[in-house]
Amino acid sequence: MDASSVARAVSVTSMTSGDHACLEYDDDASRWEIRAAYTAIGLCQGEQVMLFTDPATRPGAAVEQLRAHGLQDEDALVDGRLIVLDEVPGFDAAAGFTPGARVRLWMELTMRARLQGYSGVRIMGDMGWAAAPGFDHDLLVEYECGLSALFADIGFTAVCEYDRRMFGDGLLRRIHGAHPKKVLPRLDALDVARRGPELRIAGEADLNTREEFAAALVDALHATDRPAVLDLTELCFMDAHSATTVVRLASHLPGDRSLEVRCRPAQGRLIRLCGASEVPQLVVKAGCFAQ
């Protein structure tokens, strides 16, 4: 991973063991919703979940926020499956940032959790401490770039939270490039990205986003360089209305053109139920795809 790479946008609900992602946010309520969803999924998967808040947010207040935004597991904090800390491992205002100490902690936490019977560790950490005056941001980017392979190897899942009100656009672009994935800023968000012949849509295609979903497809399929592939593998939800939109727009393509849709098995079944077999221009490929 290097700082010139492009992070792949995903819903936080799509993150799997070993993923390393950044969250760029400027809405505190949405961040707590994302934290609560991320925590709940980790607990359901048998992972030990750790939330590193900013020093101004006490652990008790953080737990109340998680509950207010949907976390229902009342026993997780008591039995140690959820740990909330207001510490910053590897950083001291006087001594500075020590990446090696931070990396060692992640490895130690993983080994300890495995010995205790957890399937893995997932953390979410506020990165506001890295906005301190005089902080070495080159060292920060180097640290972030080096984590992805390690996390994938040991099954350590992490979201690094960057408040865009505290960090400049130039640094955030470098931060994005240091992460394989970028968490969408809201649970109901939709992300549309065009890369070469491929149009990729991530997030949720539902009542809240169906107009945005349809508009993105219309714009792309009516362009002179229309995409040959529609990648929906990072859609965590798609309703029948959106599936029908895919089928309908594909049916309007010229007879000598095709649209290959890559999607999850459940999405593939839904698209077929909405009439895909009647549209020869539409090729549905459902399954698991390398990210």
The pLDDT-based confidence of 5 (bands split at 50, 70, 90) is: low
pLDDT for res 84: 96
pLDDT in tens, 13-22: 999 999 999 9
- Average pLDDT rounded to a whole number, residues 200-227: 94
Query: Whole-angstrom Cα distance, residue 222 to residue 252?
Result: 10
Q: Is the pLDDT of residue 3 over 70?
A: no
Cβ atoms of 263 and 235 within 8 Å: the answer is yes
pLDDT of amino acid 55: 86
Average pLDDT estimate for 203-214: 95
* For residue 93, pLDDT beyond 90: no
> Model confidence over 228-266: pLDDT tens digits?
999 999 999 999 999 999 999 999 999 889 999 999 999
Q: Which domains does the chain have, with CATH numbers?
A: 8-183 (3.40.50.300), 190-286 (3.30.750.24)
Decide: 59 and 23 in contact? Cβ < 8 Å. Answer: no
Mean pLDDT, rounded, for 57-73: 94
Cα–Cα distance, 88 to 289 (Å, whole number)? 36
Mean pLDDT of 19-26: 97
Instruction: Name the pTM for this structure.
Output: 0.90
The mean pLDDT value of the chain amounts to 94
Q: In what order do the strands lie in the sheet with 156-163?
A: 8-10, 181-183, 20-25, 156-163, 121-126, 48-52, 82-85
- C-alpha span between 186 and 175 (Å, rounded): 19
List pLDDT tens digits, range 135-166. Answer: 999 999 999 999 999 999 999 999 999 999 99
What average pLDDT does this structure show over 179-191? Answer: 95
